[in-house]
Structure 1
């Protein structure tokens, strides 16, 4: 029997609807039917794209990571120097969080707290965090070469510190329903810790 023809558009719509649902309701709080209804796809068609909800979860993590990498690249392209580019990336994330009323936050952090029983998802999350860190590391390394970022600490460690501080601030943002923790994090990192 021939395999049905798959649509990249449908797959992307499934990923985007799943990403939104996971951000709003969590992985365990999201049903496949809810995602299918959101994009008007019949249930049988879902299994043409994903063998299971866990496989969908892995695909969503990868998709989110690629979207994040694209946003970082866009911020770096839109600004005159790498340090400003990294700050712009985080400022744009902050604006997105505020725009949606602080619902969700960072999908990677949310899923990391929820999917400790899935090895496939854990590996996908580890890869996504590492790739995000590496993108930030590369930009901070370029900023070090320009003399705008301290050089007494390795760029990888600086990137880890920045992302870890940011993720903690995102949790506070969700609790307090304000971007103040994010603003404070960026100010302390970019106007303090990262400076030469």
Structure 2
């Protein structure tokens, strides 16, 4: 029982602290802001994390491993063709953003990568590893689309996956600074053309 309480408290700190750090940035967030958001004493933070950098690294893992898992599951759905899996995933994201009364998107990975890549290389390396894993998931699905005849035989699936993944990161950046779904709409429209059967 004690270990599950420990895990729950660590997860609470990671979830609440990541929200604060996403909005305020790495430098704009102190340990005090993290523990206040989590509603815990400051000493508890250092029970789970060696430093703020250690917290940020663990928060990236905590935030993005479930997302990568959902992405992998969506792009491996045997009920749909590979092309339909990819387009369906991004169309659902467009619908999600379109339904928000006030579009407000803050990307944790974007916030950390812009701010910390040069100052704390470990954070930059972890961000890059997450982005590479995401592109690899997409590449596998594109290769299945190619095998199914949904993409030309000469298509470079690794390059196409990298292009789509990089374009999506650009969309997320636009959402962070803007308040319209137009970048997502444009992305989905172009993706449909890229993957035209």
Q: 1:49-60, aligned counterparts within 5 Å?
A: 49-60=48-59
Q: 1:1-196, aligned counterparts within 5 Å?
A: 7-76=6-75, 77=77, 80-97=80-97, 99=100, 101-116=102-117, 117-189=119-191, 191-195=192-196
Gap change, CA 1:55 and 1:24, over 3 Å in 2: same
1:56-85: CA deviation from partner (whole Å, max 9, x where unpaired): 111111222202212213423385122222
Work out the number of aligned pairs and report it. 192
TM-score, normalized by length of structure 2? 0.85
Structure 2, unaligned runs of 5 or more:
none
Q: CA RMSD in A?
A: 2.4
1:66-113: CA deviation from partner (whole Å, max 9, x where unpaired): 022122134233851222222333334445555384434432222111
TM-score, normalized by length of structure 1? 0.85
1:6-62: CA deviation from partner (whole Å, max 9, x where unpaired): 711111111111222222222222222222122222110111111000011111112
Report the 3-state secondary structure (helix = DSSP H, G, I; strand = E; otherwise coil) of the residue aligned with 2:33.
Answer: helix
Structure 1, unaligned runs of 5 or more:
none
Gap change, CA 1:57 and 1:94, over 3 Å in 2: farther
Cα distance in 1 for residues equivalent to 2:101 and 2:55? 24
Contact 2:14 2:62 in 1 (8 A): yes
